[in-house]
Amino acid sequence: MSFDPLGGYIPPSELPPEDAGELPIFNVERVQLQFPRPSDFAAAQVSNNTIVLAFSTGRILRIDLEDAGEIEDIDLPKKPTEIGTIRQLFLDPTASHLLVTTSLGENFYLHSQSKAPKHLSRLKGVSISSVAWNPSQPTASTREILVGSSDGNIYETFIEPQPEFYRREEKYVKNVFKTKDGPVVGIWADTLDNGAFRRVLAATPTRLMHWVGRSGQSGHEGSGSIFSKLFDGENPAVHDIPNPSASASAMVVSPEAQDVDSGNPIADRTFAWLCAEGVFHGKLLTSPESSDLGEILLSEAKLYKRSQVPPSISSNGRPKIAQEPSASLILSQWHVIQLVEGRIVASNRLDDTVVMDQQVLEPGQKSLGLFSDSKKDTFWLVTADELFEIRAEEETRDIWKILLKSQQFDAASQFAKTAEQKDAVATASGDYLVSTKHFMEAAAVYGRSTKPFEEVALTFVDNSEHDALRKYLLTKLSTLGKKAVMQRMMVATWLIELFMAKLNMLDDTITTKAELTEDMNTAQSKDQLSTIRAEYQAFAKKYKTDLDVKTTYEIISSHGREEELLYFAGIVDDYSYVLAYWIQRDRWDESLTVLKKQSDPEIFYKYASVLIANAPGELVDILMRQSNLDPTRLIPALLNYNKIASAQSPSPTPNQAIRYLNFVINNLVSTDPSIHNTLISILAASPSSDESALLTYLRNQSYLPEPSYDADFALRLCIQHDRVQSCVHIYTSMSQYSRAVDLALKHNEVDLASTVADQSTGDAALRKKLWLKIAKTVIANSPGNVKTAIDFLKRCELLRIEDLIPFFPDFVIIDDFKEEICTALEEYSRSIDALKRDMDEAAITASNIKLEIKALDQRYAIVEPGERCWICKLPLLMKQFFVFPCQHAFHSECLGTRVIELTGPSKGRKIRELQGEVQKSSGKTRENKIAELDGVVGASCLLCSDLAIKQIDSPFIAADDNRDEWEI
């Protein structure tokens, strides 16, 4: 409900809603009871989805709200005439423990696992008005609890169900405090600092008291009071009201937080005290853990006056002038819910705005009060015969607006749900921070809002707050979508400019030893310089894709920021730019440091020429660690370096081109002819006269099946640069021994020529020819030194003295080599004698052969009667036959046929031709042909000669043989 500013009442139906589509925060629904009601309800309690209803007859119903069909019907052990009617119920948060108090001061205890209430004899006569359950919320026993009575006493007790009927349920009961202000209408206890401190909040109709302090520790559970020390040793913080009245009074605490795991912000637990003035409520602060906590808690609480509650409407449609006080009170997370004249009135506890005012009860209908389920965060209204549920729908919906109005921007941002709500909070927060000159904080807030970009930027520029502008742009950039390419690029580029300007300003401040601000000295400027540089690097690394590389280079270069320029080039992988930058400044160490981190071959090819000319050794070290390079593309750089190195005479360091090429050939096993030819060209053109390196390479190649270099190219280079030994080696590898010897002799390299001549061992005539060339040169170079020529003669066994005599000049006296001539003649004589002996032995051998031939003419063989042919098995004497010295005999026809089969086609054809000529010829010719045919056919025995070997694959039993003859 609301009032017109002029004093007129405006009915709720005429109020324009804030959002027509929004549902009310609270709804009241009647719950249909599924059991017969024998009489009116006398008391009720709700906790942990369980509702307990008591009747004046002593009957108690315990109903599970999740399963409405599960109803426990329990009766007190005595009749109401003996113990009185049930006056009030007290149910703990777990719904495990129930206390029942009657009008005659009898008290009973009922556990959730029992259906028989137990009489609490030690609490006899205590009219319980409130209970502070143990904060640990045990279920097996109540542990230590506080009980407030109608006479103002506070008792501590420990109740534990006992199976033996003769044992009391309460272990002890002790009076720990006494107040003279009337009944204890509410009491609550909890622990602070992990149980080290205890806090008790108690209320009477006129006073609210708060205790905090250390409690006593008993030996074991239930052995004695733990609250006595707190009440005896601590003075409570008190809040009084000056005008007490007989109206209803109560103290309640808001339910436990339910959305801890949902990610939603949770309100602090609060308390509310219903008194004559209205509702006194505040947060249940938990710090500081000292006696001052109560004073702070009560001082921060506020009063929701009775006059703020909307009045009831009379029958004539006007608000009532006199209004009854609230009859009952409960707390939700954010609202105070009161029962006023049959109406449920809910007001926000932050700004006291009424969010619900609904008539629920009929005139004259009796109410047992409002109840809240502290575990399930549900709210209930119980009348004498009905049950209502008060449902909370989006209770935090408007919290952000209230917090925003009170300038609690951080809290409002937490409760803002939609993007529009968050934006409204951010904009208002930013405006407030700017008005209070907190520009840095405003920058972060504006960055999350939709306030016009140019307006915010101009605000910071006009106030010369460049640091705040930088922070705003960073925040704004983080909120821009990936599709806003142009916006992101412009903001990122502007940030580069701001970073560079800030760094330059700090550098100037440090250089001039000036103070940037009144509270910042040079040392602090250096610290800030490091901080800003780190911020720049983090920004550039994160948003490098949003920056145009060329534009960024220009901006950083215009500010002369070398370190920042190179860092940016590094993170965008523009190592070519970094290398070019250092190379242009002749900073070779820095250039090589960058090159070490690269793996792109193109960068090596591009900068190899200039780097090898200025840092050859270091570059080659780097090149040798790269496995993905094409050495042929480095040849121009190597040749250019070799030209420079050759000009330095003598060279201070080894030739690095040769070193790298040897690495490629030996370690990478390259067979590329261009690599090998380049190495040869460098070695051949070396200013040094030493050919050892070139010869070593050529000799290593000679061990391979096929050399990798071009022999003609290498030969031309070696001839061009007078590399005699290398030329001779190449000629030799090409088997051109004669040219090799001629070249060696031309340069008076006799030993080298001799070595080449000895390598031609496969051709004795060539070898002798080469040695004669060498001998001729040696004799020509020392014509008078016969001894030298004779010693040289001994180096080749093919040479004789007579081979050398033509090379000596005519004036040489024979006495100089008479001994060698005599030695040669003696050797010839020995050779002649050996030949004579050989001739004599040959003559004797010839005579013996003649005698053996003559003996063959008189040789004969005896043929026995009945002897058979070894081929056809017929009698031998039936036909013309052959008899061999081995005594094997064959018919002529059988032998001829078998010889044709076993010999080759040519011999078979020869036999057939001779057989045809014998038949055609006559006389002497026929005799000659017969003799020739017999010589061919009877040349060897079929069974003893090589013809027998050709029959190795023939079976023993032929297809036409009589197998019976072979049976055993």
- pLDDT one-digit tens code per residue, 35-51: 556 567 889 999 988 99
Beta strand ranges found along 703-762 (DSSP E)? none
What are residue 285's phi and psi, to 5 degrees? Answer: -60, 150
CATH classification at residue 183 = 2.130.10.10
Please tell me the predicted confidence (pLDDT) of residue 14: 31
**pTM metric for this prediction:** 0.57
pLDDT of residue 723: 83
Q: Residue range 186-214: average pLDDT?
A: 91
360/418 same-domain check: no
- Judged against a pLDDT cut of 50, whether residue 5 lies above it is answered with no
Evaluate whether residue 77 is within a structural domain: yes
Cβ-contact 1, 310 below 8 angstroms: yes
d(CA 238, CA 217): 26
| Residue 869 domain flag | no
Confidence of residue 122 (pLDDT cuts 50, 70, 90): very high
**Enclosing H/E stretch for 770:** helix 764-781
Which residues are CB-contacts of 685 (< 8 A; sequence separation ≥ 6)? 642, 646, 717, 721
pLDDT, tens digit, 9 for 90 and up, residues 535-582? 989 999 999 989 998 999 899 889 888 888 888 888 888 878 888 888
**Is residue 757 classed as helix, strand or coil in its secondary structure?**
helix
* Domain-embedded: residue 6: no
- Whether 758 and 666 map to the same domain: the answer is yes
Residue-wise pLDDT tens digits, 155-179: 999 999 887 765 778 889 999 999 9
| Same domain as 929, residue 826 | no
Is 642 among the domain residues?
Answer: yes
Q: Is the pLDDT of residue 646 over 80?
A: no
Phi and psi, residue 346, nearest 5°? -115, 125
Confidence of residue 1 (pLDDT cuts 50, 70, 90): very low
What's the burial of 958, exposed, middle or buried (CB within 10 Å: 0-12/13-18/19+)?
Answer: exposed
The answer to whether position 577 is within a domain reads no
pLDDT tens digits, residue range 696-736?
888 888 888 888 888 888 888 888 888 888 888 888 878 77
Task: Verify that 62 and 113 share a domain, yes or no.
Answer: yes
pLDDT of residue 16: 35
Q: Where is pLDDT greater, at 910 or 17?
A: 910
> What percentage of the chain carries pLDDT values higher than 90?
22
3 in any annotated domain: no
Looking at 380, 397, 414, the residue that finishes a domain is 397
Q: What is the mean pLDDT of residues 252-273?
A: 76
Residues 178 and 207 in one domain: yes
Residue 479, pLDDT > 70, answer yes
Asked if 386 and 406 sit in the same domain, the reply is no
Pick the last residue of a domain from 828, 859, 890: 859
Question: By three-state DSSP, how is residue 372 classified?
Answer: strand
Residue 846 has pLDDT above 80, yes or no: yes
515 and 650 assigned to the same domain: no
Phi–psi pair at 889, nearest 5 degrees: -130, 145
Between 4 and 345, whose confidence is greater? Answer: 345
Q: Label residue 4 by pLDDT band (50, 70, 90).
A: very low
What single string gives the DSSP state of each residue in 522-546?
HHHHHHHHHHHHHHHHHHHHHSGGG
Whether 804 and 819 share a structural domain? no
Residue 323 has pLDDT above 80, yes or no: no
- Whether residue 346 is contained in a domain is answered as yes
Residue 849 has pLDDT above 90, yes or no: no
pLDDT of residue 385 exceeding 50, the answer is yes
Residue 235, exposed/middle/buried by CB under 10 A (0-12, 13-18, 19+)? exposed
Band of residue 250 on the pLDDT scale cut at 50, 70, 90:
very high
Q: Which domain holds residue 838?
A: 813-859
pLDDT score at 489: 93
Task: Tell me whether residue 84 is in a domain.
Answer: yes
Nearest-angstrom CA–CA distance, 941 and 882: 9
Check whether residue 755 and residue 690 sit in a common domain: yes
The reported pLDDT for the residue numbered 18 is 47
pLDDT of residue 236: 93
Burial bucket for residue 832 (CB in 10 Å: 0-12, 13-18, 19+): exposed
Query: Torsions phi, psi of 250, nearest 5?
Result: -165, 160
276 and 423 within one domain:
no
Number of separate domains in the chain: 5
* Domain-terminating residue out of 795, 830, 859: 859
Distances (CA, A) of 695 to 91, 128, 640, 645, 727: 108, 117, 24, 21, 10
pLDDT tens, position by position, 792-821? 656 665 556 555 556 665 555 555 556 666
Q: What is the pLDDT of residue 779?
A: 66
Range picked from 92-96, 508-512, 663-667 for highest mean pLDDT: 92-96
In a shared domain, residues 850 and 901: no
User: pLDDT (tens digit, 9 = 90+) per residue, 595-639?
Assistant: 888 878 888 888 888 888 888 888 888 888 888 888 899 889 888
**Which of 3-7, 106-110, 589-593 is the least confident region?**
3-7
pLDDT of residue 703: 80
The per-residue pLDDT for range 263-302, each reduced to its tens digit, is: 556 678 899 999 988 999 999 998 888 888 999 999 999 9
Mean of the pLDDT values across residues 82-107?
Answer: 93
What secondary structure letter does DSSP report for 72? E
Q: Are residues 413 and 516 in the same domain?
A: yes
**Given a cut of 70, is residue 760 above it in pLDDT?**
no
